[in-house]
Amino acid sequence: MLIRRQPALRASEITPPELFWQRRRFLQGAAVAGAAMVASPLPAARLVPDQQLVELRGRYSTDEEPTPYKKVTTYNNFYEYGTNKGDPAANSGNFKPRPWNVAVQGECNRPGSYDLEDFFAPHKLEERIYRLRCVEAWSMVIPWVGVPVADVLKRFEPNSNARYVAFQTVYRPEEMPGQKRKVLEWPYREGLRMDEAMNPLALFAVGLYGEVLPNQNGAPVRLVVPWKYGFKSIKSIVSIAFTREEPPTSWNISSPGEYGFYSNVNPAVDHPRWSQRRERRIGDFFKRDTLPFNGYAEHVAGLYADMDLQQNY
């Protein structure tokens, strides 16, 4: 399997996993890397050495060849920076991913405002090589680095009334120029059912290819839900809320006839403006068949066993 390798790094540029969540070292390393990592495919700050990432790789990883790093970081949907695929890499240079806090609220026993390291502590990083399927019939394979969502959410002790988890993106139009346009209702919002969020496939990502997550890919923390379309993987998260009711989501608000709450990859349900039956992997010439649940049916199909997936799209 071909994986892009970076030039050799000095020992001082490598953060062992046991030190990663120590606040000052993490903030200093990531802040220095912030400006350089925006649109460049060159190394930023390593999260974990390559060999340790191999050891940390989860059993859910695909063995498909990853999409080249340059394409992963320059061909993005992130409307906060613009609607064209190249806009996020071009327009995210002024975004400041540090310092960062995540507000936790709603139906849980431990609400509060947590800085990023406290939000994740004491959990260790994992690498998951996941497919990411976008609704416009293109896909990528990305080596994400992060922490399972379930591991993080359990720490906040959601109570028996918590049936959903709502997520919200930061609102900074001075740093995210796309938010100055009324393309969507800002700030961006997404949500999962609790059993979806607690599925072991769901990941809070803080990096890709072993490096700190670039601004255009959702720095400093984003959601990755590999059996759903890419827009479900909300970026630059500043708030999560445990709710009793299904939370509103940005694309469902914008166009409910095209984008449902569940947004599962389903080749049998076409988008009103294009077919979902085939997809083109970025970098490939020929299309391939789209797999139900993006190829993760064995892990997630049971979540929807009693649902009409034509209606709950």
Residue-number span of the structural domain to which 205 is assigned: 12-304
For residue 249, what is the DSSP state?
Answer: -
CA dihedral 242, 156, 15, 4 (to 10 degrees): -30
Q: Domain containing 270 — which CATH number?
A: 3.90.420.10
In a domain, 312, yes or no: no
Residue 134 burial (CB count, 10 A): 19
In a domain, 2, yes or no: no
CA dihedral over 88, 148, 153, 165, signed as positive or negative: positive
Helix H or strand E encompassing 284: none
Question: pLDDT tens string for the chain (313 positions)?
Answer: 333 333 333 323 333 434 444 433 443 344 333 333 333 333 458 888 888 888 888 789 999 999 999 999 999 999 999 999 999 999 999 999 999 999 999 999 999 999 999 999 999 899 999 999 999 999 999 999 999 999 999 999 999 999 999 999 999 999 999 999 999 999 999 999 999 999 999 999 999 999 999 999 999 999 999 999 999 999 999 999 999 999 999 999 999 999 999 999 999 999 999 999 999 999 999 999 999 999 999 999 999 999 999 999 9
Residue 172 burial (CB count, 10 A): 17
**Residues forming beta bridges with residue 124, ordered by sequence position:** none
Tokens of 68: 């080249």
151 φ, ψ (degrees, to nearest 5):
-60, -40
CA atoms within 13 A on the CB side of 111: 11
DSSP 159-223: -TT--EEEEEE---TTT-GGGGSTTS-SSPEEEEEHHHHTSTT-EEEEEETTEEPPGGGTTT-EE
End-to-end CA distance of the chain: 34
In a domain, 145, yes or no: yes
- Distance, CA of 136 to CA of 157 (rounded, Å): 37
In a domain, 1, yes or no: no
Residue 209 burial (CB count, 10 A): 27
In a domain, 82, yes or no: yes
- Distance, CA of 280 to CA of 151 (rounded, Å): 33
In a domain, 5, yes or no: no
In a domain, 91, yes or no: yes
In a domain, 4, yes or no: no
Number of structural domains found in the chain: 1
**Residues forming beta bridges with residue 101, ordered by sequence position:** 115
- Distance, CA of 219 to CA of 288 (rounded, Å): 30
Please state the pTM of the whole predicted model: 0.87
Give Cα 132 distance to the centre of its chain. Answer: 9
